[in-house]
Structure 1
Amino acid sequence: MSPAEAKNQIQAISAELKQHNYNYYVLAMPTISDFDFDKKLEELNKLEKEFPEFLDPDSPTQKVGGEVTKEFVTVRHRWPMLSLGNTYNEQELVEFDQRIRKAIGDSFEYVCELKFDGLSMSLTYENGKLVRAVTRGDGTQGDEVTTNVRTIHSIPKKLTSGEYPDLFEIRGEVFMHLKAFERLNKERTDNGEMTYANPRNFASGTMKLQDSAEVARRPLDCFLYGLYTEKTLFKTHWESLEAVKSWGFHVDNHSRLCNDINGVLEFISHWDKERFNLSYDIDGIVIKVNNYSQQQELGFTSKSPRWAISYKFKAERVETELLQVTYQVGRTGAVTPVANLKPVLLAGTTVKRATLHNADEITERLKLHEHDTVFVEKGGEIIPKIISVNLDKRKPDAKPIAYITHCPACETPLLRTEGEAAWYCPNDEGCPPQIVGKMQHFIGRKAMNIDGLGDETIETLHSRGFINHISDIYDLHAHAAELKQMGRFGEKSISNMLDGIEKSKQMPFEKVLFGLGIRYVGETVARKLAFHFKTIDKLMAATEEELTAADEIGGRIAQSIAEYFSNEKHKQEIEKLKAAGLQFVAVEKEVTLASEKLAGQSFIISGVFEKFSRDELKDIIEQNGGKILSSISAKLNYLVAGDNMGPAKLEKAQKLNIPIISDQELLDLIS
């Protein structure tokens, strides 16, 4: 290879890897497997060694990876958060062991730890109190996400026991358990929202939210595994793990102390099979030299320690036949393609189906043909995924699979909104899966929570012609005699069901609004809308511009709400629900004035606050005679600004010369 060719190739691979780093660390949406990324990194490293004149200090081989997002305050790490060298085979581990022995002799131990597939986090404690949480970022500096991390129950906010130093840093991995991931992803599907590919992406995406109240509703966990102090407190890493565990930190109990490389290889072999029985994802094993003095002797490269290495498990991959592609219609009308496969054993379970996500996956990325032989992988994803097609086994006369153009349930032509990947059926009033799905969503625990009425009962009542709309549920008491004759329902079950329906009429406005099943209006959005507009009539009359003025309501949500209420049938449905006695007015909390020091003053609260939630600040303002406005205008007296407030609000306030104050300055106004 000529120097000119090498230069071009180095630049091309560097640009590609930087994009993959951005997708992984910043967007939390990787488009390449870890294995393929590491192979490309190896290729680049080899070229740079062969042609050192083209080595760029900014090369992916010289950096940990990732960039700092602009939404959070950037904090420089006291100790750099280095990445580990990766290997995928045992021979390279043996070579790693030989290098260690050559440098420090034969008298040393290894600590083996599970490599959690999550988001690296650094926590700083002062006098036993959590004062700062920072993401890895680019290894030198990261995003401060303290407010979000405080919502994780397994992370202590204040230590209650142990002889810990006045100042220390502890590092770990924030992750999401598999069951929680499945449940939350299902909720997103039900709400017509984009799902996450795996728990790591969900955990990472959650940490980047600016509403800590929403973070708190997502069950995250954290294992801690690395202690950093100005003065070394312990002789070995194993001793430090035992100590931080006694201080109250959540430390994984599966770690093992090994005397030699054979013990390490046994540990790896054990977890290569047992990892599928864990409640969370791991993607490998981390191996560290135990003694801190020996770690110092071994030292570091520019991006990783020489005394540690990461063994990555290869994602389980098998080959099988694609039998057919079928399509599922969700309650919001989104049509999801599913690959039906010839049953095959993968990662300890028999796989018959795999996700295909959307039309582009079928026609563009995979270019699937009928009865293709496909490679199926189950790595970080819960649901198996088709990785690629074995073109050598494709039949010569195989026809390409075309994505359907009409709804598989009702034959209505499918639509696709610009900028979205999914196709959906617009016939929400006549498409059976949507009708049933909407009613099942309406009765659910997080919506109307109707006792005595379950998903199967909804299906039965719909198939027998009793209910076709949500409002029909409130007419069921008129059909009690007919229900008794069906045989499926006993008198007691009918009585319980009707009692549950009657009690549901007392559910608050935000629950009713969430229960309507408007596309993109999840539980949190429904609460925000009810709080802002107070009544269904004001919400229905709101323009898209007025909708986006509400807290955290974006353009896509506003458009969906406006479209929903422009449909005459939806308006008629709401009138029927009103007549049935459901709550369509937000209940105002009675405010007891503590003082009138803020009387005649108006406020807007924006951003995230360490000591208060925004609702608590709102209560403080109203209890002292102040008024909360919904949008910034010349009439506004004060903008109470926290961390990570939207730049548009800040810019508008500055243009209008509106005083911008902190939560403490607000308290000073009162005192």
Structure 2
Amino acid sequence: MPEHILQRIEELREELHQHNYNYYVLDEPTISDFEFDAKLKELQELEAAHPEFYDPHSPTLRVGGEITKNFPTVQHQFRMYSLDNSYDFNDLQDWHTRISKILETEDIEFVAELKYDGASISILFENGKLSQAVTRGDGFQGDEITANVKTIKDIPLQLQGNFPERFYMRGEIYLTHNNFNKINEERLAEGYDAFMNPRNTASGSLKLQDSGEVRKRNLSAVLYQFVSENSPAETHFELLQQAKTWGFKISENAKLCKNIQEVQDFINFWDEKRKNLNFDIDGIVIKVNSLKQQQLLGYTAKSPRFAMAYKFKAEKVETELLSIDYQVGRTGAVTPVANLAPVLLAGTIVKRASLHNEDIIKKLDLHVGDFVYVEKGGEIIPKIVGVNLEKRNVFATEIQYATHCPECGSELIRLEDQAAHFCPNETHCPPQVVGKMIHYVSRKALNIENLGSETIEQLYREGLLTNIADFYTLRKEQLLPLERMAEKSAQNIIDGIEKSKQIPYEKVLYGIGIKHVGETVAKKLAKNFPSIDDLKNATEEELCQVEDIGSKIAESIVSYLHNSENWEMIERLRSYGVQLEKGENTTEVLSTVLEGKTFLFTGKLSLFTREQAEEMVEKHGGKNISAVSKNLNYLVVGEKAGSKLKKAQDIGTITILDEQQFLDLIES
């Protein structure tokens, strides 16, 4: 029986590796997303039931879940040099002249590649498997972030074909514009400030402690450099093509150039076309193609002589600042937006620019009627970067930040630790009320189909909705008079509302819109406080015992649930049948060997993920708890266990196990 299961696990792993290669490298998927997900789910279930067949390179590990408290520092075997920069063709020509003299020939081929604006990474592959991933750091050493990099689908975990036994692939990890916008939409919906640009967001994402959270960022990667003591090819361009056959995502836009003029043509082309890309580039990287010539050229103290980065100039335009509006989001955050005289910037007409907060307005010393300089921040978000003081009208008035909400008139507040201002009238300020209702019906929350933002706004204006509990009092005849509302559409909405009563408690908890409670936090709350009543009765101190919940989130939860209007709305939801407590545990029970015992996992686990471990506990009758206390029976420790281990040792009655001892306990 185990051999049959192992065979099926290995079959699924091989299939999924191949499908990932087809999709992310060849861009030629051979099965649907549904079929892929079904195979992945089957593999996840088999691996969870049989941890003895654990493989650190399994496709299932892309889902993340590993927690890394501290990223160990790792020395680079091969230094990661920085590139010399050039900003015009004269610099480029001078470089060409210098290397021609060293090589004693002008017969030099180049490879021109897009310079992705992201975070550099060095990935070690041994025997065809991803072994280690390390950030650039200072070039000599960086942080080991292997668990996080494994969640990036563009990077293969298992290679194919005829690859070298041991080598490094260097590359760039970045965010597409679409994914960057999606992240910011979700952050704003949850009451957080938007990230400023894709590059910093990608870099910061790689240092998140929970690899499951990294996976949700949907990072992308492009690999552009093979590094080893021995090379299986004679040129850089050949290496790129070989790397693609092994399973690496290589830039399709890299070009072999016969001379420096072709390089300049490539630069001119992409200086214009880069605005059409779905990711940021800040220039072009030019490398000598011949590896033998690269070796002859060698390195300076800081940079390789065989490569050069041509940096694009940031496009900046001047236009008039007409006025400033203030937008109120779902959580009450107020964002100032500059209204500009329309101007062409990076291929699009720009009329507005975000100013983010009062501090930025003061730093720029903005006056109404100023002529301002506007750039595209990170190639995507227009931003004001300066003022042409020579054109300032002597009678121009300094912009004073709004003191009251533009929607409901409430006096704005600004917390000491935040840059943004907030409208505190969360239950009656129209944009906040409507925003909360739109959030409640969204796909990740209650997933009520056919209820779009326009329909919700109409229902609010008509007085049919005042808060989310009112969805459950709507009748079809109230919907029919709305614009573009047919009988079938109205019935679909009513059916969707009824269906939402079956949505699990953790999604409801996310959907009701507690400030700072996102999807992940809601799941952890539901796991530790299995009903809304348990959550309401929890103190801030008890809430802070839950992983990833700090005082700010805890304070927000207590404040929300002890607000009389909010609690009245929750009671109405309960009366309509909405799920406000965790359902019966549907986990398949394999044995009762752990019955009555409580478990907690800490440190870096190597034999299984934390999620797999907790599932094993439940399948064998045990219970997972979130904090070290006298109620804990077993603490299972991985590498670099810290404060939880010390606290357990201080209590003295808790049994401490390593991972193998935990598996032995299950099999006993």
Task: Tell me the TM-score normalized by structure 2.
Answer: 0.86
Q: In structure 2, how many angstroms separate the alpha carbons of the residues matched to 1:598 and 1:483?
A: 53
Q: In structure 2, how many angstroms separate the alpha carbons of the residues matched to 1:256 and 1:510?
A: 50
Q: Which residue of 2 aligns with 1:550?
A: 546
Q: Which residue of 2 aligns with 1:418?
A: 416
Task: Work out whether residues 332 and 519 of structure 1, in 8 Å CA contact, stay in contact via their aligned partners in 2.
Answer: yes
Is residue 2:103 matched to residue 1:108? no
Q: In structure 1, how many angstroms separate the alpha carbons of the residues matched to 2:123 and 2:255?
A: 24
Q: Which residue of 2 aligns with 1:393?
A: 391
Q: Which residue of 2 aligns with 1:315?
A: 314
Question: Following TM superposition, by how much is the alpha carbon of 1:600 offset from its aligned partner in structure 2, in angstroms?
Answer: 5.1
Q: RMSD across aligned C-alpha pairs, in angstroms?
A: 1.9
Q: Which residue of 2 aligns with 1:3?
A: none
Give the 4+ runs in structure 1 shifted more than 6 A: none
2:614 to 605, 608, 618: 618
Q: In structure 1, how many angstroms separate the alpha carbons of the residues matched to 2:114 and 2:242?
A: 19
Deviation digits for residues 86-139 of structure 1 (CA, Å, limit 9, x no counterpart): 122221111111110111122221111100011111111111111111111121
Is residue 2:589 matched to residue 1:589? no
Deviation digits for residues 344-391 of structure 1 (CA, Å, limit 9, x no counterpart): 00000000011101010112x111111111110114152101011111
1:567 to 552, 557, 563: 563
Q: In structure 1, how many angstroms separate the alpha carbons of the residues matched to 2:152 and 2:388?
A: 44
Report % sequence identity.
52
Q: In structure 2, how many angstroms separate the alpha carbons of the residues matched to 1:74 and 1:559?
A: 35
Q: Which residue of 2 aligns with 1:407?
A: 405
Deviation digits for residues 403-447 of structure 1 (CA, Å, limit 9, x no counterpart): 001000001000111210110001011111111111111111111
Question: Following TM superposition, by how much is the alpha carbon of 1:638 offset from its aligned partner in structure 2, in angstroms?
Answer: 3.2
Task: Work out whether residues 210 and 644 of structure 1, in 8 Å CA contact, stay in contact via their aligned partners in 2.
Answer: no
Q: How does 1:454-465 map to 2 (within 5 A)?
A: 454-465=452-463
Q: Closer, same or farther in 2 for the Cα pair 1:143/1:306, shift >3 Å?
A: same
Q: Which residue of 2 aligns with 1:19?
A: none
Q: Closer, same or farther in 2 for the Cα pair 1:661/1:175, shift >3 Å?
A: farther
Task: Work out whether residues 540 and 554 of structure 2, in 8 Å CA contact, stay in contact via their aligned partners in 1.
Answer: yes
Q: Closer, same or farther in 2 for the Cα pair 1:648/1:554, shift >3 Å?
A: farther
- Secondary structure at the counterpart of residue 264 of structure 1: helix
Q: In structure 1, how many angstroms separate the alpha carbons of the residues matched to 2:494 and 2:596?
A: 49
Q: Which residue of 2 aligns with 1:176?
A: 175
> Which stretch of the first structure deviates more once superposed, 216-225 or 458-467?
216-225
Q: In structure 1, how many angstroms separate the alpha carbons of the residues matched to 2:199 and 2:96?
A: 30
> Which stretch of the first structure deviates more once superposed, 520-529 or 635-644?
635-644
Q: Which residue of 1 aligns with 2:511?
A: 515
Deviation digits for residues 596-652 of structure 1 (CA, Å, limit 9, x no counterpart): 44455432123554553322101212333433222112443433344676x543543
Q: In structure 2, how many angstroms separate the alpha carbons of the residues matched to 1:586 and 1:82?
A: 53
Task: Work out whether residues 197 and 381 of structure 1, in 8 Å CA contact, stay in contact via their aligned partners in 2.
Answer: no
Q: In structure 2, how many angstroms separate the alpha carbons of the residues matched to 1:550 and 1:626?
A: 19
- Secondary structure at the counterpart of residue 154 of structure 1: coil
Question: Following TM superposition, by how much is the alpha carbon of 1:670 offset from its aligned partner in structure 2, in angstroms?
Answer: 2.8
- What are structure 2's unaligned runs of at least 5 residues? 1-67
1:321 partner letter: E
Q: Closer, same or farther in 2 for the Cα pair 1:169/1:654, shift >3 Å?
A: farther
1:377 to 364, 375, 378: 375
Task: Work out whether residues 275 and 379 of structure 2, in 8 Å CA contact, stay in contact via their aligned partners in 1.
Answer: no
Q: In structure 1, how many angstroms separate the alpha carbons of the residues matched to 2:657 and 2:307?
A: 48
> Which stretch of the first structure deviates more once superposed, 588-597 or 92-101?
588-597
Question: Following TM superposition, by how much is the alpha carbon of 1:666 offset from its aligned partner in structure 2, in angstroms?
Answer: 2.1
Task: Work out whether residues 211 and 608 of structure 1, in 8 Å CA contact, stay in contact via their aligned partners in 2.
Answer: no
Q: Which residue of 1 aligns with 2:644?
A: 649
Q: Closer, same or farther in 2 for the Cα pair 1:608/1:205, shift >3 Å?
A: farther
Question: Following TM superposition, by how much is the alpha carbon of 1:591 offset from its aligned partner in structure 2, in angstroms?
Answer: 4.3
Q: In structure 1, how many angstroms separate the alpha carbons of the residues matched to 2:540 and 2:298?
A: 59
Deviation digits for residues 456-509 of structure 1 (CA, Å, limit 9, x no counterpart): 1000011011111101111002xx334434565332222111111111111111
- Secondary structure at the counterpart of residue 619 of structure 1: helix
Q: In structure 2, how many angstroms separate the alpha carbons of the residues matched to 1:651 and 1:324?
A: 58
1:222 partner letter: A
Q: In structure 2, how many angstroms separate the alpha carbons of the residues matched to 1:481 and 1:382?
A: 44
Deviation digits for residues 155-190 of structure 1 (CA, Å, limit 9, x no counterpart): 1111122x1111111111111111111111111100
- Secondary structure at the counterpart of residue 520 of structure 1: coil
Q: Which residue of 2 aligns with 1:451?
A: 449
Q: Which residue of 2 aligns with 1:7?
A: none
Deviation digits for residues 507-548 of structure 1 (CA, Å, limit 9, x no counterpart): 111111111111111111111111111111011111111111
Q: Closer, same or farther in 2 for the Cα pair 1:424/1:207, shift >3 Å?
A: same
Q: Closer, same or farther in 2 for the Cα pair 1:225/1:272, shift >3 Å?
A: same
Task: Work out whether residues 280 and 379 of structure 2, in 8 Å CA contact, stay in contact via their aligned partners in 1.
Answer: no
Q: How does 1:198-237 map to 2 (within 5 A)?
A: 198-237=197-236
Q: In structure 2, how many angstroms separate the alpha carbons of the residues matched to 1:297 and 1:493?
A: 71
Q: Closer, same or farther in 2 for the Cα pair 1:642/1:90, shift >3 Å?
A: farther
- Secondary structure at the counterpart of residue 241 of structure 2: helix
- Secondary structure at the counterpart of residue 384 of structure 1: strand
Q: Closer, same or farther in 2 for the Cα pair 1:607/1:366, shift >3 Å?
A: farther
Q: How does 1:187-586 map to 2 (within 5 A)?
A: 187-363=186-362, 365-477=363-475, 480-485=476-481, 488-586=484-582
> Which stretch of the first structure deviates more once superposed, 130-139 or 322-331?
130-139
1:427 partner letter: N
Q: How does 1:624-635 map to 2 (within 5 A)?
A: 624-635=620-631
1:606 to 577, 584, 602: 602
Q: Closer, same or farther in 2 for the Cα pair 1:484/1:107, shift >3 Å?
A: closer
Q: Closer, same or farther in 2 for the Cα pair 1:174/1:664, shift >3 Å?
A: farther
Q: Which residue of 1 aligns with 2:62?
A: none
> Which stretch of the first structure deviates more once superposed, 597-606 or 126-135?
597-606
Q: In structure 2, how many angstroms separate the alpha carbons of the residues matched to 1:70 and 1:569?
A: 39
Task: Work out whether residues 352 and 382 of structure 2, in 8 Å CA contact, stay in contact via their aligned partners in 1.
Answer: yes
Task: Work out whether residues 147 and 609 of structure 1, in 8 Å CA contact, stay in contact via their aligned partners in 2.
Answer: no
Q: In structure 2, how many angstroms separate the alpha carbons of the residues matched to 1:96 and 1:175?
A: 29
Q: How does 1:24-63 map to 2 (within 5 A)?
A: none
> Which stretch of the first structure deviates more once superposed, 391-400 or 331-340?
391-400
Q: Which residue of 2 aligns with 1:24?
A: none
1:652 partner letter: K
Q: Which residue of 2 aligns with 1:156?
A: 156
2:662 to 659, 666, 669: 666
Task: Work out whether residues 118 and 174 of structure 1, in 8 Å CA contact, stay in contact via their aligned partners in 2.
Answer: yes
Task: Tell me the TM-score normalized by structure 1.
Answer: 0.86
- Secondary structure at the counterpart of residue 474 of structure 2: helix
Q: In structure 1, how many angstroms separate the alpha carbons of the residues matched to 2:252 and 2:283?
A: 16
Q: Closer, same or farther in 2 for the Cα pair 1:228/1:330, shift >3 Å?
A: same
Q: Which residue of 2 aligns with 1:122?
A: 122
2:458 partner letter: T
- Secondary structure at the counterpart of residue 112 of structure 2: strand
Q: Which residue of 2 aligns with 1:82?
A: 81
> Which stretch of the first structure deviates more once superposed, 626-635 or 551-560?
626-635
Q: In structure 2, how many angstroms separate the alpha carbons of the residues matched to 1:283 and 1:326?
A: 31
- Secondary structure at the counterpart of residue 397 of structure 1: coil
